[in-house]
Structure 1
Amino acid sequence: MNSSSLDLTLASRLANIAPFHVMELAKMATELERQGRHIIHMGIGEPDFTAAQPVIDAAARAMADGRLQYTSATGIPALREAIAAHYQRVYGLQIAPSRIIVTAGASAALLLACAALVEKDAEVLMPDPSYPCNRHFVAAFDGKAKMIPSGPEQRFQLSDAKVRENWSAVTGGVLLASPSNPTGTSIPHQELAKIVATVRETNGFTIVDEIYQGLTYDEEPFSALSLGEDVIVINSFSKYFNMTGWRLGWLVVPEKMVPQIEKLAQNLFICASSIAQHAGVACFEPESIAIYEQRKAEFKRRRDYIVPMLRELGFKVPVTPDGAFYVYADCSALSDDADRLTIDMLNRAGVVLVPGLDFGPYTARQYIRLSYATSMENLQEAVNRLRHYFNVRH
């Protein structure tokens, strides 16, 4: 039988997974570049910095020494210990290395957490807007993401009142991100403590994505792990440590969950990249941390430039982002359709921004997300192009 005549029946859960419009815009930008256009990319959330030199050197040593075999599914001891020491140094928290599971990026950590905690048809509460993959991780295990409209009054984050209002008999838990993609906003410590207490009362789970926690600019950073051992935290080497393509992250879980997470990791992933793990240990050396702190200061400088410029261009930025490298800007004074506006800005100004479409229906048509994880020169050129674009357009 010819393979083209086969009619495979695909799993029905695929209907719950929406396309990622960020990547669609990136493809459109690539095609314009192929035609010779110069495009400024402020869509995908990827640092323009790459791994620090000590990290690259550590990876080279691991390869030269032949440390390329499978590791434990939970990660090499040296890396788990280095992460635990990082929590002590930065947050003053004593986290047992045995609670830390090294994963193939934060995505694998979220998959493992959802595999362990999300029951079929259970609802998981999250704010609208949220990083789109979070609701898809829930859907992958036949759960249902309940997107709760969360506007600038709540810093685009869930509040304890909203959690209480939306909790029902079928709610399993909450999935939060602080600081958040797409908004760059954090949940205040006291509000997060209230949410955790509310969820704990109902025997639910709290998962907090902290992959941007290293990039907080206005307040002393804190980890949700300070709120109790039952809080599950996700983190990554991609953002603060600038290692996106290395696919390395971690998951912190209660001690009693470790054997179950390890069992899942063994079956789903075997282990994270051994080279990336050996390199990751070097991220926590003082020389590396000094580099990352300089880069963090540069991200803050870019934020402090681009937010006023967006307001000058006619965008509203109702909440100044306090972390990550995103601005969530209201474009309603400029257009009634953020998706159409971003496509037009790409084609006519050569600037990639992302519509709210990916991040939930509540802000889909009104907001755009800008990533300032690019050079100051690119940001300044983008502002010049957009200023010309809006002048001509009007």
Structure 2
Amino acid sequence: MSIPTPNNLESQTARALQLAQRVDAIEPFRVMEMLKAAAALRHDGADVISMSVGEPDFTAPEPVAAAAMEAIRSGVTQYTDSLGVAPLREAIAAHYASAWGLKVDPRRIVVTAGASAGLLLACAALVAEGDEILMPDPCYPCNRHFVSAFGGKPILIPSSPDDRYQLTAQQVDERWSERTRGVVVASPSNPTGTSMTAEQLRAMLQSVRAHGGFAVVDEIYQGLSYDGRPTSALAYGDDVITVNSFSKYFNMTGWRLGWLVVPEALVPVFEKLAQNLFICPSTIAQHAALACFDAETIAIYEERRLEFKRRRDFIVPALRELGFAVPVMPDGAFYVYADISQLPHHDANDSSAFAMSVLRQAHVAIVPGGDFGFAAPDKHVRFSYATKYERIEEAVERLARLFRR
């Protein structure tokens, strides 16, 4: 018997650890380089204003925290049904009725370990090897990576300010092929903060339906809408799959809790997948989330929503005054997708270099457009206004000083 040499061991290890091809289709988050650079500056004593992370600066209100602690003290910490506890599914259904005027059967609600788990379940159920899935460009990068993880091919279609950076019925009709299986869209969207109008949404869904495809609509920012009550895709048919979350409007990012609304016929499919992939969502988070829907807690969330609107109403005109182009007022979420190409700055044609310059010279952290797609990413950066109003004011002053140099 031969004794393995070091070189043979390395070769055997390399073969054993050969990665699946799907890994190559998933790109790294470029923004992580920005976050590491910002952390290094903070370590050296710099006062860095973060306008990069898509996370509310608010945390869960006291009634939610108290409900979590009561669940722990009472020993309510064991596995739940894979679809989520019945009282929470019922509370979510009641919220659709009170907030959006929609009747949703609680049986159609699938509670998940965050919206990410919901999107993974939807892709596991619907995307087969080689399927093409249409999306607008720009869009949240993980959405296309979820498709790639299940062997699908995300087809990013450049969107424009004229269409509120959203996928249109005409684009669906023009780009649908024999390999197309469905669409994944978000309203309001990350990174643009723009929603589909009711007519856009209705027409787009009709087009998908006419082609025999599926529609997954990410509505995690719908609670953070500022210019009237938005329209849910659920208003246009029970065949639509919607994704939602307790992370954004409900300020529970680290609790990892979300939900899907799926066609009733697909509930057993999603239940089977959830049982095998996740077992169940966090039990403690589910019982805490029940307190989200109490009247006193909703009042807190509504105050916070209006504070986000106040920040938006300041930051967008301020950025335009500095020379950023923001052709569409974001109506939801907490993002501004801004064109830098006309700015008086030497890196105005390279958003990655521009964002790094802003970080190093003004100590303001923003996100370059490269993470969000392939439609003019070098011309765009994303600002998150999920930080205190006073810090946003200070960030604008720093940018103004930078551009005057």
TM score, norm. by length of structure 2: 0.95
Contact 1:186 1:323 in 2 (8 A): yes
Q: Out of 306, 313, 337, which is 1:304 matched to? A: 313
Output the CA distance in 2 between the equivalents of 1:329 and 1:89: 35
Q: Kindly indicate whether residue 86 of structure 2 is the aligned counterpart of residue 61 of structure 1.
A: no
Give the C-alpha shift of residue 122 in structure 1.
Answer: 0.6
Deviating more after overlay: 292-301 vs 90-99: 90-99
CA contact (8 A) 2:137 2:156 kept: yes
Q: What is the match of residue 126 of structure 2?
A: 117
Deviation at 1:363, TM superposition (A): 2.7
Could you say which residue in structure 1 is the equivalent of 2:332? 323
Matched, 1:41 2:50: yes
How big is the shift at 1:78? Answer: 0.7
CA deviation map 1:159-186 (0-9, x unaligned): 1111111111100000010000000000
List alignment gaps of at least 5 residues for structure 2. none
Confirm or deny: 8 A CA contact 1:129 1:363 kept in the other structure.
Answer: no
Q: How far apart, CA to CA, are the structure 2 residues paired with 1:153 and 1:93?
A: 29
Gaps of 5+ in 1: none
Query: How far apart are residue 93 of structure 1 and its match?
Result: 1.2
Structure 2 CA distance, aligned partners of 1:190 and 1:318? 20
Paired residue for 2:79? 70
Following superposition, the deviation at residue 4 of structure 1 comes to: 6.5
- In the TM superposition, residue 24 of structure 1 has moved relative to its aligned partner by 2.1
Q: Which deviations, in whole Å up to 9, do the C-alpha atoms of 1:297-317 show, x marking residues without a partner?
A: 000000000001101111010
Asked if 1:364 corresponds to 2:377, the answer is: yes
Cα distance between partner residues in 1 of 2:66 and 2:87: 17
Amino acid at match of 2:203: K
Give the alignment's Cα RMSD to 1 decimal: 1.0
Return the alpha-carbon distance in structure 2 between the equivalents of residues 167 and 303 of structure 1: 36
Identity of aligned residues (%): 59
Q: What does residue 380 of structure 1 align with?
A: 393
Q: Deviations over 1:352-378 (max 9, x none)?
A: 011110000103111110000000011
Which AA in structure 2 matches 1:346?
Answer: L
Of the three residues 174, 181, 188, the one matched with 1:165 is: 174
Residue 227 of structure 1 aligns with an amino acid whose one-letter code is: Y
What residue identity is the alignment partner of 2:63?
P
Tell me how far apart the structure 1 counterparts of residues 267 and 381 of structure 2 sit (CA, whole Å).
Answer: 39
* In 2: Cα distance, 1:22 partner to 1:243 partner: 22
Which of 332, 348, 363 in structure 1 is aligned with 2:341? 332
Shift of 1:239: 0.3
Paired amino acid for 1:174: V
Q: Indicate the SS of the match to 1:23.
A: helix
Asked whether the equivalents of residues 139 and 190 of structure 2 are also in contact (C-alpha less than 8 Å), the reply is: yes
**Which residues of 2 match residues 75-94 of structure 1 at below 5 A?**
75-94=84-103
* One-letter amino acid of the structure 1 residue matched with residue 403 of structure 2: F
Q: Is the 8 A contact 1:39 1:351 kept in 2?
A: yes
1:14 to 18, 23, 45: 23
Say whether the 8 Å CA contact 2:187–2:217 is kept in structure 1.
Answer: yes
Q: 1:154 Cα deviation (Å)?
A: 1.1
Q: Which has the greater radius of gyration?
A: 2
Deviation at 1:31, TM superposition (A): 1.2
Query: What's the counterpart of residue 150 of structure 1?
Result: 159
* 2:365 matched residue in structure 1: 352
The letter of the residue matching 2:396 is V
What's the CA shift for 1:35?
1.2
- Contact between 1:159 and 1:191, CA under 8 Å: does it hold in 2? yes
Residue 143 (structure 1) shift: 0.1
- Point out 4+ residue stretches in structure 1 off by more than 4 angstroms: 1-5
One-letter amino acid of the counterpart of residue 78, structure 1 = P
Query: Is the partner of 1:217 in helix, strand or coil?
Result: coil
- Residue 386 (structure 1) shift: 0.7
Q: Secondary structure at the match of 1:361?
A: coil
* 2:100–2:229 CA contact under 8 A, matched in 1: no
Alpha-carbon distance in structure 2 between the residues aligned to 1:109 and 1:129: 21
CA distance in 1, matches of 2:109, 2:31: 31
**Are the structure 2 counterparts of residues 270 and 146 from structure 1 closer, same or farther at C-alpha, using a change threshold of 3 Å?**
same
Provide the rounded CA distance (Å) in 2 between the counterparts of 1:84 and 1:205.
Answer: 22
CA distance in 2, matches of 1:177, 1:219: 18
SS in 1 for 2:331: coil
1:245-280 Cα offsets, whole Å, 9 max, x none, are 000000110001000100000000001100000000
- For residues 100-157 of structure 1, give each alpha carbon's deviation from its aligned partner in whole angstroms, at most 9, with x where no partner exists: 0000000000000000001111110000000000000000000000000001111111
Alignment partner of 1:196: what SS?
helix
**In the alignment, is residue 260 of structure 1 matched against residue 277 of structure 2?**
no
Q: What is the rounded CA distance, in whole Å, between the counterparts of 2:242 and 2:130 in structure 1?
A: 23
Alignment correspondent of 2:208: 199
* Shift in Å, 1:38: 1.0
Pairs aligned (count): 392
Q: Which residue of 1 is the match for residue 61 of structure 2?
A: 52
Aligned with residue 225 of structure 1, among 231, 234, 255:
234
TM-score (norm 1): 0.98
